[in-house]
Amino acid sequence: MHVLVMGGSLFNGRSLVHRLVADGHQVTISNRGRTQADLPESVDRIIADRTDHDATRAALGGRQFDAVVDMSGYHPEDVELMIEIFTGNVGHYIFVSSTTIYSSGKAGTYDESDPVDRSADQNEYALHKILAEDILFEAHRNDGFPASVAALSMVLGPHNAIPSREQRMFARMRDGRPILVPGDGSTKGLVGFIEDQSMAISAMLGVEATFGKRFNVTGDDPHTDLRYMQACAALAGASPEFHEVPSSLMDDLWDAKVSVAADKGPRVGLQIRPTEAALERVLPHLAKFQIATLVQRLQPNLHRWDHHTVFGVDALKEATGWAPAHTFEQAMEETYNWWINTPAVHDIEHDFAWEDEILGLL
């Protein structure tokens, strides 16, 4: 198949492009051309800034593709433009969404039928993913536009651009730091390994059973906070001291009833093109986002520190035959090996001063 990838240079897009080429597809990417990436030589590039709709129409209009995978659609108008350009010109359009869209509070596994959150506590990134999905599903119902949605969960793996996730835990182990465990460490989470998620999207291509539907795309090996920490310690050959932070103190930290210093560590933002209004939704939750870096946590503005965030992938397995190839520990190992051998990320200096303040409170 000839597949157009919108984006294609950074973390998720880069991995997908490599997977599609390995699976024998002809791949073209479309982006601003500002990011250098080690992509296969066979990949063609179209230079177009999708925020400039006229330029994007000029670059993509009239072209036909067997499939389009939209990795860089962050706002409703992004997909409206894609529908305009590709109606009648694409066999399958896959929009990459996120499991951050789901409402909080479910004790068990989330599936695609669970409600999404459109409340004032939702951040702009997830809300705009929801609105983009609305537009696509309506276009499918009304006009047969061949759209599917792949909702990625927290992605783990080599080339991750967010150092406050697994890389921060690796650094704690490297530095021999004491490890703060939220509560008793039993809160469950789920990460999706980058290679598994790329294989999942590749498996969706051209599968009509996926049209007009959303599919969770992540791993199928949930972890507890403590398992996450122990896996990182084993990889680093570390024997850290684990300090449980009582639930009452975690609640007070989460709700900013007890304050610690602001994290002054690296601020690496994803290129998700937030609007000027986006910050207004984030400000009430800043304390939660910082405390959530004690261990990788999904969408802290919605999910409290002791809420389980596990997403089922049975629907995607049934529709495509895909299944994750990596256990949680295997995914961690591949990610750690990249991190330890990549000075640009291994040498990042993280700010742990505020964690020491919590240790002092204990």
In this structure, what token pair is assigned to residue 357?
Answer: 């303040």
Instruction: Summarize pLDDT for 163-175 with one digit per residue, the tens.
Output: 999 999 999 999 9
Average pLDDT in the 38-55 region?
A: 94
The structural domains of the chain, with segments of one domain joined by +, span: 2-155+192-217, 158-189+222-307+327-361
Average pLDDT in the 353-357 region?
A: 98
Scored b (16 or more CB within 10 A) or e, 164-189 reads bbbbbbbbbbeeebbbbbbbebebbb
Measured distance CA(297)–CA(312) in Å, rounded: 17
- Predicted confidence at residue 17, as pLDDT, reads 97
Measured distance CA(96)–CA(90) in Å, rounded: 16
Judged against a pLDDT cut of 80, whether residue 36 lies above it is answered with no
Find the Cα–Cα–Cα–Cα dihedral 290, 347, 223, 257, rounded to 10°.
-10
- Predicted confidence at residue 266, as pLDDT, reads 85
Number of other CB atoms surrounding residue 281 within 10 Å: 18
Nearest to 358 by CA among 181, 171, 233, 175: 181
Task: For domain 2-155+192-217, say whether CATH 3.40.50.720 is its number.
Answer: yes
Number of other CB atoms surrounding residue 65 within 10 Å: 20
- The model's confidence at residue 269, banded by pLDDT at 50, 70 and 90, is low
Alpha helices in the chain (DSSP H): 11-22, 53-60, 76-86, 124-143, 166-174, 194-204, 225-236, 247-254, 278-282, 286-291, 314-320, 328-340, 343-346, 353-361
Judged against a pLDDT cut of 90, whether residue 34 lies above it is answered with no
Nearest to 156 by CA among 246, 213, 218, 74: 218
In this structure, what token pair is assigned to residue 181?
Answer: 């465990």
- Predicted confidence at residue 212, as pLDDT, reads 98
This prediction has a pTM of: 0.96
Phi-psi region of 195 (alpha: psi -120 to 50; beta: other; left: phi over 0): alpha
- Predicted confidence at residue 190, as pLDDT, reads 97
| CB 323, CB 151: distance < 8 Å | no
Instruction: Summarize pLDDT for 191-215 with one digit per residue, the tens.
Output: 999 999 999 999 999 999 999 999 9
In this structure, what token pair is assigned to residue 329?
Answer: 């520990």
Average predicted confidence (pLDDT) for the chain: 96
Measured distance CA(359)–CA(357) in Å, rounded: 5
Q: Residue 166's Cα: distance from chain center in Å?
A: 13
Annotate 61-109 with DSSP letters as a single string: TT--BSEEEESS--SHHHHHHHHHHHTTTBS-EEEEEEGGGBPS--SS-
